Chain A
Amino acid sequence: MAKFEEVGIRPVAISVDTPELSRNLAEQAGYSFTFLSDPKADVIRRYDLLHASAGTNGQDIARPAEFLVDSSGTVRWVNLTENYWVRARPDQILEVAKTLR
Chain B
Amino acid sequence: MNARRFNWPIWAGFLLSLIAFLSYFFVFVWFPVTRDFPWANLLLFAIAAGLLLVGVRRAFSTGQSSREDSPPKVGDRPRPRRSKIAATVLTTLSVAIFGFFIFSIFIMARRLPASHSAPRISQRAPDFTLSDMNGRPVSLLELLTSPVNGKAPRGVLLVFYRGYW
Chain A residues whose CB sits within 8 angstroms of the CB of B110 once the complex forms: 82-83
B81 at interface (Cβ–Cβ under 8 A)? no
Which of B29, B106, B126, B151 contacts A8 (CB under 8 A)?
B151
- A residues in contact with B35, CB < 8 Å: 85-86
Contacts of B160 in A (CB 8 A): 14-15, 44, 47, 49, 62-67
Distance A75 CA – B126 CA, assembled complex (angstroms)? 10
Closest to A38 in B: B130
- How many chain B residues touch A (CB < 8 A): the figure is 54
Report whether B162 and A61 are in contact in the complex, using a CB–CB cutoff of 8 Å: yes
A contact residues around B65 at 8 Å (CB): none
**Residues of chain B with a CB closer than 8 A to A71's CB:** 144-145, 152-155
- A84 with B109: CB separation less than 8 A: yes
- With both chains docked as a complex, state the minimum distance between the C-beta of B6 and any C-beta of chain A, in angstroms: 37
Query: Taking the complex as formed, is B112 at the interface, i.e. its CB lies under 8 A from any CB of chain A?
Result: yes
- Residues of B64-88 contacting chain A, CB below 8 A: none
Contact A13 B161 (CB under 8 A): yes
- Provide the bound-state CA to CA distance between A73 and B57, in Å: 65
Does A97 contact B155, Cβ atoms closer than 8 Å?
yes
Q: Which residue of A10, A20, A35, A51 contacts B156 across the interface (Cβ within 8 Å)?
A: A10
A93 to B79, CA, bound (A): 59
A50 to B116, CA, bound (A): 11
Pick the most buried of B123, B143, B145, B157: most chain A CB atoms within 10 A of its CB.
Answer: B157
How far is A80 from B121 in the complex, measured between Cα atoms in Å?
12
Q: In the bound complex, do residue B154 and residue A73 qualify as a contact, i.e. CB atoms below 8 Å apart? A: no
Interface residue from B116, B126, B132, B156 paired with A9 (Cβ < 8 Å): B156
B155 touches A48 (CB 8 A): no
Contact of B122 among A5, A35, A75 (CB under 8 A): A75
Which residue of chain B is the closest to A81 with respect to CB atoms? B112
- The residues of A with any CB-CB pair to B shorter than 8 Å are 4-17, 19-23, 25-26, 34-38, 42-44, 46-52, 54-57, 59, 61-71, 73-78, 80-86, 89, 93, 97, 100-101
Binding site for A on B (CB under 8 A): 29, 32, 35-36, 38, 105-106, 109-110, 112-113, 115-128, 130-135, 138, 140-141, 143-145, 148-149, 151-165
A-B contact pairs, 7 of them (CB 8 A): A8-B148, A12-B157, A14-B158, A36-B132, A49-B113, A63-B113, A71-B152
